[in-house]
Amino acid sequence: MAKVKKAPRPKAVTPKGFRDYFGAEVTERTEMLHQIAGVYHRYGFEALESAAVETVEALGKFLPDVDRPNEGVFAWQEADEDGQGDWMALRYDLTAPLARVYAQHRNDLPTPYRRYAMGPVWRNEKPGPGRYRQFYQCDADTVGAPSVAADAEICAMLSDTLETVGIPRGDYLVRVNNRKVLNGVLEAMGLGDDQAAKDNVLRTIDKFDKVGASGVRELLGKGRLDASGAYIDGVGLSDDQAEPVLAFLTSKADDVAKTFANLRDAVGGSSVGADGIAELEQIGDLLAAGGYGADRIEIDPSVVRGLGYYTGPVFEAELTFEIFDEKGRKRQFGSVSGGGRYDDLVKRFTGQAVPATGVSIGVDRLLAALREKGRIGGTTTGPVVVTVMDRDRMADYQAMVTELRNAGIRAEVYLGNPKNFGNQLKYADKRNSPVAVIEGGDEKANGVIQIKDLILGAKIAESATLEEWKERPSQFEVPRGDLVAKVREILASQTEGQG
C-alpha cells in the first residue's frame, strides 16, 4: 500500500509587497490618525467609513497611474449560476468609493457634503523599496461646492494638519496650481483637437520634476537620452509649440504678482487659461485673509501631479527638510500629500457634473517623515508586570492588576510558566516594562509587596561603578495597600529622568 504523502506545511512568509506592523508602529499610526481626524472634525467634516470592496465598474478608469480599468487593482469575479458574476476589487483609493457613496445617497446627504475617511487601500503594482501594495490614506473631500473657497479651505486644513502632527512651519510647503491654466497652455500651443498629442504633452509635463526644463524641452521635441543611455522618442513639436509649456513650468517668480504675469504670458489669449489664473488669485486672496502666507502655502505652476485626473486647482504638500538616502546622499524628503478638484468623478454615476475637491495624505510617508525628524520612534514603554510566585494564588495577582488598570495604569499578570522567576523578569525586559510587582509567600504573610523599578535597575547594571546610581534603590518593599501609589511614584520618576 502506497504511503500517504503529507501535505507540505505552508511557508510563514509575508506576501510580496506587503508587510506586518507591530505594537509601536500601530500605536504611532493610530495616534496620528486621531490627530488628523481632530483637525478634519474641527473644520466641520464628518467621518465616513465605506466598504473596502467595490465593483470594478464603480471604480472605473480613474486610477491615476494606469490606463486600463482593471490594471493596478486586486480584482476577482463573483461566481453566479451562469458564471457571469460582477467583477469586484479592493479599493485602490478613498476617492472612488466616495463618488459611489455620494451618487447612491445624495438625496439623504447635505449639499455640500463634507466627509473625511481613513483606512488601508490596495494597489496591485510592482513593489519596491518603501513601496507597498497596502498602505494607509487619510482623505478629506467636499462634494457639491463649485467655489474655489472649498479648494482654499482644503489647503488651509492641510497646512494645519501637518503642523498638528509635528511638522513645524518651515519644514513643509503646500504648493498650489490649476489644471485650467495648463488647458490654456495646450490651447496656446495650437494643438486643436489632437487629443493624442495633448496626452503626450501631459505625460511629458509629468516628467518635469525628474528631467527639468531642458529635459522637457527635448522630450517635447525630437527626444533625449535617458540616464541609462537609451534614446527616448519625443513628441515631435516645434520650438514655437513647446515654448508655452516651458513658460508655464518655469513661470514661478519670487513675487506672486510676477508669477501671475508670467502665467498670463504662457496662456496667451486662452479664456480657460485666464479663468484658471483668476481662480489661483482668488485662492491666494482667501488664504491670505486666513493668515496663510507664502511660508506655508504658495502658488507654484510646477505642481503637475496627476493633472489628467483633475479639472481645476491641484495642490501638493512637500516636506522641505533634507534626509540621507540609502546611499548616504542628501535629498529632500518630498511629497506626503496631494489633491485637487475633480468635477467629473460623480458624473459617471449621475450623468450630471458634480463639483468636488479633496486631499489625500499618505499616512505611512508622513510617519516616516516624523521618524526622520526624531519626533516619534523612540523606545515605547510596556506594561507593569505583576509576577506570579505561587500559581495557586492567581486570584491575588489578578486583584493587583485590576487595581492598577482601574487607576489608569497599563498592567498585566505574567501568564507564562511561572516556575522560573528569572524568565518572568526576562519577559518584562523584552516588553520594556517599567515596573515589576512581586508578592511571594512571605510578603503575603506580612501584608507587603516588592516593587522593582526595572528602568533604574537596568541603568545600575549598565553603570555599576557610578555612585549616583548605586545610592538609589531600585526595589522597594511597601504595604500591599500602597501598590498603586508606589507604582505611580516610580513611573513619575522615570518620566522625569527621561526629560
| Tens digits of residue pLDDT in 282-315 | 999 999 999 999 999 999 988 876 656 789 999 9
> Could you tell me the sign of the dihedral formed by the alpha carbons of 382, 388, 389, 394, in that order?
positive
Q: Are strands 330-341 and 356-362 parallel, antiparallel or unpaired?
A: antiparallel
* 123 annotated as a binding-site residue: yes
| Tens digits of residue pLDDT in 240-258 | 888 888 888 889 888 889 9
pLDDT at 361 over 60: yes
* 325 annotated as a binding-site residue: no
Q: Are 217 and 249 in contact (CB under 8 A)?
A: no
What is the phi/psi pair of residue 401, to 5°? -65, -30
> Could you tell me the sign of the dihedral formed by the alpha carbons of 128, 134, 139, 144, in that order?
positive
Per domain, the residue ranges of the chain are 23-189+270-372, 384-498
The packing angle between helices 483-498 and 394-406, to 10°, is 60
Average of pLDDT values for 48-72? 75
pLDDT at 321: 84
pLDDT at 462: 67
Identify whether 112 is preceded by a cis peptide bond (ω within 30 of 0).
yes
Q: Are 276 and 181 in contact (CB under 8 A)?
A: yes
> Could you tell me the sign of the dihedral formed by the alpha carbons of 361, 364, 368, 374, in that order?
positive
CA–CA gap between residue 373 and residue 429 (Å, rounded): 27
- Cα-atom radius of gyration of the chain, to the nearest Å? 30
Q: Please provide the CATH number assigned to the domain covering 23-189+270-372.
A: 3.30.930.10
* 309 annotated as a binding-site residue: yes
* 442 annotated as a binding-site residue: no
CA–CA gap between residue 82 and residue 84 (Å, rounded): 5
Range in 39-43, 53-57, 73-77, 427-431 with the lowest mean pLDDT:
73-77
Q: Report pTM.
A: 0.85
Top CATH class of 384-498 equals alpha beta
At 86, is the pLDDT very low, low, confident or very high (cuts 50, 70, 90)? Answer: confident
Q: Are 488 and 435 in contact (CB under 8 A)?
A: no
* 305 annotated as a binding-site residue: yes
Q: Is 457 exposed, middle or buried (0-12, 13-18, 19+ CB in 10 A)?
A: middle
Amino acid at 235: V
Percentage with pLDDT > 70 across the chain: 92
CA–CA gap between residue 449 and residue 442 (Å, rounded): 9
Q: Which of 266, 270, 344, 346 is nearest to 312 (CA)?
A: 344
DSSP characters for 313-346? EEEEEEEEEEEE-TTS-EEEEEEEEEEEE-TTTT
At 67, is the pLDDT very low, low, confident or very high (cuts 50, 70, 90)? Answer: low
* 310 annotated as a binding-site residue: yes
Q: Which of 419, 424, 423, 456 is nearest to 437 (CA)?
A: 424
CA–CA gap between residue 91 and residue 96 (Å, rounded): 8
Higher per-residue confidence, 70 vs 45: 45
* 380 annotated as a binding-site residue: no
At 195, is the pLDDT very low, low, confident or very high (cuts 50, 70, 90)? Answer: confident
Amino acid at 71: E
